[in-house]
Structure 1
């Protein structure tokens, strides 16, 4: 699908002589975004497939144990039937010998008692194995049900994250091409804002346009109270030399992250307990710092939205 879109965009760009380089670059960026989203979905699909494979292995192991117990039960049933036949034979012999000899009668009675004792032991063993088999069958059914519930929860969460990304993309549509991106990857939604949209150089005061973008994010967060929000500040590797209240890039990135948190908290629908501010300095770049364009991409704020996984983690521990 991405290849067809890319080919269409490229054909349009080549056949239209009046297309500007900015429009062409926008098309390239859209293509790159589509490729990132495709890789993200593929990674999530691989992760879910691995979890399902592990659960399938557990289910197969339980089925093997069940089959083994059935075989043992069938063996005991066969032995029980053979013992029953022997008992019937002894009873017949007992009836015949009773007419001839008291000694023979005593001997047969002793054998009968021994056989009856053996038969009783076999019956108890068979009952115990049957109980164990029933317990294992119940456990297998319970685990299968939990696997189905877990798969449903994971699918619902993935759909919820997709809706959250679409909502954010729609709310921030007016900032497209201004250093703001929204993407879903690794089970999270990332809103990345380059500093050119938010701050002046060396400053942690959010500008008018940047404040408007952050306010739109806060509106979406207010409608999703079950989302944990991590706000990360990032810089390039150029040492900070502004002096004053700032000591270095790490300090600057932390103050910028805190400034974003302050704006989000202005929306009373957002629970402050869900917010975390962190400064990463220059230590988590997404591009090379050897070019002006790369340094510009590294100077950014990332708002990372993570669903709360308490229920899924609890269910995984119970399986």
Structure 2
């Protein structure tokens, strides 16, 4: 466009040089030229500005393209993470399902244990009631009956069984032993262990060396009383002594020593006999004593 203006200007000069042109006409042409020259300069500047803006736009486009590429990579990364998360969640659901099954199985097992314990407690209570039915309230003060894991422990105090400092059976013990013998004979298939226990106070008797001797002799006295006086089969009976080494209370007090001086009658039923005990009670003795 600038070249065209130059050509036009040159043509105007030639025309002025070759012909006679009025001053007024020349001034008009000069003004037109100046106007065209101004427009040419403005267009040139506008073109430069456009070129500059185009360069800036290209730079911005390149930046946006880089940003777009980075965003695409970020989206791919997020998609990959999402896929892994979905896979993990699916596996987690499987694990949770397995865990729920295990918890349910565990709860079922716990309920079975509770039911079994309740049944065991009920059987123990029935067995205890059956074994103590023939004992009077006064006798129960010197007799403690417990059932632990299917084994019956009848604990008799030495005050009730023996004469003081002796292994001889006292007269008042015979009535209680007769009732315990009745219980033992009613359950004739049970094994019976008579176990003597003492406190830790040394014994001072010419015919008794120590508490081992005393506990064993006391157990033997009960065994012989059950056999000779009350007709219990001796094949079912075992006498043993544990001396002072199986305490149930502290020997530091008189009350504790009194608890430790005891004789236990341990009756061991067979498992298949437990169910029979539920409906079976010891037969009443001839005097009708309960």
Larger radius of gyration: 2
Q: Taking structure 1 as the reference length, what is the TM-score of the superposition?
A: 0.46
Bigger helix fraction:
1
